[in-house]
Structure 1
Amino acid sequence: MNSAALASSATAAHTEIEIQINGQAISCTNNESLLGIAKRVGIEIPHLCYQDGMPAAGNCRACMVEVNGERTLAASCCRHASAGMQVTTNSPRALKAQKMVLELMLADAPPKENQTDGSTNELQYWAQQAGLLATRFTPRPSQARDQSHPAIHVNLDACILCTLCVRACREVQVNDVIGLAFRGSDSKIVFDMDDALGASTCVACGECVQACPTGALLPANPKAQQLPDQKVDSLCPYCGVGCQLTYHVKDKQIIAVEGRDGPANHARLCVKGRYGFDYAHHPQRLTVPLIRRSDVPKSADLEMDPENILDVFREASWDEALSFAAGKLVTLRDQHGKKSLAGFGSAKGSNEEAYLFQKLVRIGFGSNNVDHCTRLCHASSVAALLEGVGSGSVSNPIMDVALAEVVIVIGANPSVNHPVGASWIKNAVKQGSKLIVCDPRRSDMARLAHEFLQFNPDTDVALLNAMMHVIIQEDLIDHTFIAKRTSGFEAIKQHLLDYPPELMAAICGVPADTIREVARLYASAKTAMIFWGMGVSQHIHGTDNVRCLIALALMTGQIGRPGTGLHPLRGQNNVQGASDAGLIPMMFPDYQRVSEPANIIKFEELWQLTPGSLDTQPGLTVVEIMHAIVQKEAQGKIHGMYIMGENPAMSDPDVNQARVSLAALEHLVVQDIFLTETACFADVILPASAFPEKTGSFTNTDRTVQLGRQALAPPGDARQDLWIIQQIAQRMGLSWNYPHVSAVFEEMRLCMPSIAGISWQRLERDGAVTYPCLHEDDVGEAVVFTQRFPTKDGLAKFVAAGLISADEQPDADYPMVLITGRQLEHWHTGSMTRRASVLDALEPDPVALIHSDDLLALQISAGDIVTLSSRRGTVSLYARADNSSPRGAVFVPFCYYEAAINKLTNSALDPFGKIPEFKYCAVKLTAGGEFPKQGSFGGGQALLS
């Protein structure tokens, strides 16, 4: 169990008692430490090796107290309360011991000119509290400082060997980088095999820095060590885990970030959350509206010199820019019809922004041609989940992994994509859960796995069907659950007869005995969870892959209880909320289908429209919109677009074609914070607000609605996204006026039953509420499907899946497989993280991860330039030896504009989720190639120095 689950279960198992501390009677439980009780009631005891959420070590001995009737002093962090205990924290004996320990430690503190202030140095704080101004003891020999890491500086002169950093690294985050080496007076903290921190395997989560009480580990940026003018509680703007954090603001800039005790992270952060904040202050922020010069055609942007890209635009006032943006959209709508316009919203924006954006497209544009990046990540997961269990959301939160006996992680690399979520999985493994990792690539999680199934790319269904074959043949199914809560089992049972492990092993590459063992392990566990990522969903058979995962959970009854269930890990910070809010072409908010007459009536009444105003046909999806721009037929052709915070010129498959489509638009409005590759094709660019510059609600992968609070003002003349959307709406003839973000949220509650019980006041008070939350007294349901599924008959549905190969297979001309994805330090198309100084310093260059045997066969050395080619394009980048990828497969992150790997990917779609096949296409790898001039495409990121 993780610490939260342990605390919960322990509290239930222990009884209330009463003790005395310094003569004060205190009620507590007998599993509480004396230090914890004292802190709770406001009694200060010095402590340097203790931190909430970590097991007590008791090695600094600064927290010694006197217990009545005992000869020796007790370390209050390790000593638990017992009934009738009398404790004195300030007796002469206890104070003398505390002061002696602090004086000894003070001897090893660095000289005053190198010290941090008392706000970040707990040793100095406690020494001052004890009245210690100097020490009588001789310090240890000075050690060389380590400034090899872009994020963290090491000064072991300040180290007191409290081991908080060791425990933070090994027990909390389970990264296993920091250790305690040597013995006696030679003991010291080391990184890996006593490497420099910058040369170690450190992933820069910063948990050690947050834990360090003396400044031995510090942020490399000296500004981060200063006292802030203001602290603002908010959220991380990156992945879907939804970590809560606190911005430290000084002189109107964020100088540091610390984790806080949110439901998803309990103060933990990753490298992006902790160090990826200064993009908001980057000099390339858009600060004034821009309009394209009339003498520069958009087709020229395809070969634009990045140094001259700004010459394409001229500055404009907000009134001119908004009138031009909205006026041209109205003209095109009236000239070509309501279906001639489309909008891409953003999963990086708030729920309120997503809601207003889709409302604008449906009312102002007059069609359902609205979509966002969920189409490119988990659309197939949502399609299969809605079909099978009636809901596209996760069934259980990540934290439920603490209660799972068996955990399957398939097609996901949470250590890279969801690092804090991964830490909870790793904690569960340390507490005894059995981890099964299934993936074509060997991720970091595999080192902790009970079984690692490295199946052949594109063979998910073969592996999963074989597992279900075993479960049925060996009668490991949950007969009661199947009979009472599902439909369609007999049909899938018959279907699975054709998928024995011995036959499927030849296809998926996993031995039949291993398939059988894993199937038995999952089916026989009292509780088991399945997590998956885009390695499952980004295929033309992505929906089939998820159908198999659903069937696996249903036939074993591993759903609807704590510690069980299905959890597609969401990639962006608000991809769940944006989908919930209706930013998808076939659904109104809360997944109410646009084709259902009752839903049409409901939203026409809510939005005060005349009957027949809303489009009753599903709109086009992301890739379909790109195709519709360049189609020859007038009917269905897209002539104008409004894109908010998305970057399809980098994120779409076959981006060469996507860029041609963007250039072909008659009118493109882009709302963003940087001059992205997509913005380069715009006719008008509207400078928007970055995450720390807005207040709004965001929904994480656990279905928890959380409040992000504004910490900064937008720079220059940039404006809030909600204001911009409303201004466009008003200039298109809609009389919208939402005076505050809360007014939008309250309207959302009227049409979204899932969040009806979450008032804005409640959100401001509690900061986080999990849905479904049906009324204001409802605490919210973390675990769903406990009694019935949200389907018409209340039953979950088995759907069989057959073997379908990828759209494009390797051949003699293109013999290798390309797999794309993200890397730890960068996120999505890199527009934010490559402008964050620490993140860019850690991973500055585009790389292809290639098996060392493939490099050897092609006579390529790590660090050489290589060229990857598919039937759609060519990119050159640096080779990195990485045996996590199997032979014959190449992995490339898609965040590098100068090596935009989506030039190569295949735009073939899953027929159900309409998601492109990012995870599999045929490529060839050759040595050498001309590395392109930085930003040869001409995107705004090309201006990075």
Structure 2
Amino acid sequence: MIMTSSIVKTICPFCGVGCGICLKVDGQQKLTGVEPQASHPISRGKLCEKGWSTAYAVHPDNRITQPLKRITNKFQPISWDEALSLICDSLKVIFEEAGPEAVGVISSARATNEDNYAAQKFARAVLKTNNIDHCARICHSPTVAGLKQTLGSGAMTNSAKDIYDTDLIVVIGADPTENHSILGGHIVDAHLKGTPLIVIDPRETRLAKMADMHVQLKPGSNIALINAMLHTIIAQQWHNQSFIEQRCEGFEALASNVEKLTPESVEPITGVSAELVRKVAKAYSQTKSAMIFYGMGITQFVSGTQSVIALADLALVCGQIGRPGTGINPLRGQNNVQGACDMGCLPNVYPGYQAADAADVQHKFSQCWGGEVAEGPG
């Protein structure tokens, strides 16, 4: 007898690129193989080594499949009913002693939107606390905050396929060939086909070695460099005045803030020559369409949110947003960082980035969920 297998189409569970994979499953529902989706718009029939191997984590012999309780220094299996009762009793004791603010929920950027929505609803509607968070706290929460403040939404502004439609690619604080390999491969491919590439990074990454310009700034000097570029663009009148007048607010205040931040003035801070700063500023502002990709080399600083805001300001001043092949595009670390943030798994916002401390938002969710919710941010 020949055992037949079926193909299940899904998304790679590793990074934020979202490559399409096919899982081969035998008649006993056991994973037997992985292959790329040939027609997937992002991965285009390719997978990196992580995509080829990560799905096999569903079948290790030591995977935990039932609740375990520590009994005399060893974990022993218990029933789900017993586990849930123990958890509830423990939470009640904590509530009685210290109140709901003494508990919190950690969600997951590897979980589905549905699971993340349920986690934050459980925290707010059941536990009565806004103490809900996930790994974006140490990777891309500055993206959520910075892009929400400047653009209204903390997400990529363009599709990854625009890599092949842009006239210039700028990569700052990221190495996509290492951490987002398929997308990094698209950047390499586009560059080899003639698209200019600028890499802004203290490290000499794979992309930096092949870039038209590598801006090797000192670690932590991102804002100083971007401000010097903004100064140059505005002083040389390379900015997109019509776009600014139609779409932007606060340009005069920005121009005033960077008025004295010449490329020469930030040379000691950034370690980048004034000449190179001007070259990069001219290339980005005078190109018909330019895409910015950035990663945790931008966000993982105490000034991470301000760095994201600075990048957004750069794109807005030059009008490099709202068209194919433009925009500011964060590269997410885990496969559903974006979804976990969108679902409200953050201490200061509900689903859809609605402020957790806003009375009207609290009232809306209280009505929807049929009960009181927490008032102060987590």
Q: Considering the TM-score relative to the shorter chain, is it more than 0.5?
A: yes
Q: Which residue of 1 aligns with 2:66?
A: 288
Separation in structure 2 between the aligned mates of residue 521 and residue 329 of structure 1, nearest angstrom? 58
SS of the residue 2:199 aligns to: strand
User: Does the 8 A contact of 2:13 with 2:54 survive in 1?
Assistant: no
Equivalence for 1:107: none
Are 1:333 and 2:95 counterparts?
yes
Q: Structure 2 counterpart of 1:271, which letter?
A: E
> Do structure 1's residue 616 and structure 2's residue 378 form an aligned pair?
no
Q: Deviations over 1:216-253 (max 9, x none)?
A: xxxxxxxxxx9862211111000011111100123533
Partner of 1:279: 57
2:162 maps to 400
Letter in 1 for 2:62: Q
> For 1:231-246, what aligned pairs fall within 5 Å after superposition?
231-246=7-22
**Higher-RCO chain (CA-CA 8 Å, sequence separation at least 6):** 2
Identify the structure with the greater helix proportion.
2
SS in 2 for 1:282: coil
The alignment covers a number of residue pairs equal to 375
Q: Cα offset for 1:448?
A: 2.6
Deviation at 1:555, TM superposition (A): 0.6
Residue 31 of structure 2 is aligned to residue 254 of structure 1: yes
Aligned partners of 1:561, 1:519: CA distance in 2, in Å?
20
Superposition pairs for residues 123-134 of structure 1, below 5 Å? none
Identity of aligned residues (%): 39
User: Cα deviations across residues 910-936 of structure 1 (Å, max 9, x unaligned)?
Assistant: xxxxxxxxxxxxxxxxxxxxxxxxxxx
Match of 1:500 in 2: 262
Question: Structure 2 CA distance, aligned partners of 1:318 and 1:422?
Answer: 44
What secondary structure is seen at the aligned counterpart in 1 of 2:352? helix
Distance in 2 of aligned mates of 1:614 and 1:512: 53
- 1:203-214 correspondence to structure 2 within 5 Å: none
Aligned to 2:230, what secondary structure does the other structure show?
Answer: helix
Match of 1:596, as an amino acid? A
SS at match of 1:241: coil
Out of 540, 545, 554, the position equivalent to 2:316 is: 554
> C-alpha deviations, 1:854-907, integer Å up to 9, x for none?
xxxxxxxxxxxxxxxxxxxxxxxxxxxxxxxxxxxxxxxxxxxxxxxxxxxxxx
Kept after mapping to 2: 8 A contact 1:594/1:600: yes
User: Which stretches in structure 2 are left out of the alignment for 5+ residues?
Assistant: none
Bigger Rg, which one: 1
Q: Residue deviations 1:347-396, cap 9 Å, x none?
A: 10100000001100101111100000011101112111111111111111
Cα distance in 2 for partners of 1:253, 1:510 equals 55
In structure 2, C-alpha distance between the alignment counterparts of 1:591 and 1:580, rounded to whole Å: 7
Q: Which residue of 2 aligns with 1:447?
A: 209
Alignment check: 8 A CA contact 2:158 2:324 kept: yes
- Per the alignment, residue 47 of structure 2 pairs with 269
- Equivalent residue in structure 1 for 2:75, among 313, 334, 349: 313
Question: What is the CA-CA distance between 1:282 and the residue it aligns to?
Answer: 1.6
Aligned residue identity for 2:300: Q
**How far is the alpha carbon of 1:266 from its aligned partner?**
2.1
Equivalent residue letter for 1:249: V
Q: State the secondary structure of the residue aligned to 2:194.
A: coil
Which residue identity does 1:617 align to in structure 2? G
Deviation string for 1:449-488 (max 9, x for gaps)? Answer: 1111111111111211111111111110001111111111
1-side partners of 2:235 and 2:3: how far apart?
65
Q: Deviations over 1:129-173 (max 9, x none)?
A: xxxxxxxxxxxxxxxxxxxxxxxxxxxxxxxxxxxxxxxxxxxxx
Show the counterpart of 2:335. 573
Q: Which residue does the alignment assign to 1:459?
A: 221
Q: For residue 138 of structure 2, what is the aligned residue in structure 1?
A: 376
Amino acid at match of 2:7: K
1:23-42 matches, within 5 Å, as: none
- Listed as ranges, the matches of 1:534-683 within 5 Å are 534-609=296-371, 613-619=372-378
For 1:553 and 1:345, the matched residues in 2 are separated by: 32
Which of the residues 89, 112, 116 maps onto 1:354? 116
TM-score (norm 2): 0.96
Q: 2:194 aligns with which of 432, 457, 461?
A: 432
- Letter of the 1:364 counterpart: V
Does the C-alpha gap of structure 1 residues 334 and 515 become closer, same or farther in structure 2, counting only changes over 3 Å?
A: same
Report the 3-state secondary structure (helix = DSSP H, G, I; strand = E; otherwise coil) of the residue aligned with 1:531: strand
SS in 1 for 2:104: strand
RMSD after superposition: 1.5
Structure 2: how far apart are the matches of 1:592 and 1:340? 23
What corresponds to 1:518 in structure 2?
280
Q: CA deviation at 1:314?
A: 2.2
Does structure 1 retain, via aligned residues, the 8 Å contact 2:23–2:34?
yes
Could you tell me how far 1:330 is from its partner in structure 2?
2.4
C-alpha offsets along residues 257-295 of structure 1, whole Å, 9 cap, x if unaligned?
Answer: 1111223222221110112222222222113311123x6
Displacement of 1:581? 0.8
How far apart, in 1, do the equivalents of 2:33 and 2:275 lie? 51
Query: Aligned-pair distance for 1:312?
Result: 3.4
**TM-aligned CA distance change 1:227 to 1:537, over 3 Å:** farther
C-alpha contact 1:228 1:248 (8 A) present in aligned 2: no
User: What whole-Å deviation, never above 9, does each CA across 1:702-729 have from its counterpart, x for those lacking one?
Assistant: xxxxxxxxxxxxxxxxxxxxxxxxxxxx
Mark the CA change 1:351 to 1:361 in structure 2 (over 3 Å): closer, same or farther.
same
Taking the aligned partners of 1:368 and 1:340, their CA distance within structure 2 comes to 11
Letter in 2 for 1:538: Q
Contact 1:256 1:275 in 2 (8 A): no
CA shift for structure 1 position 447? 2.7
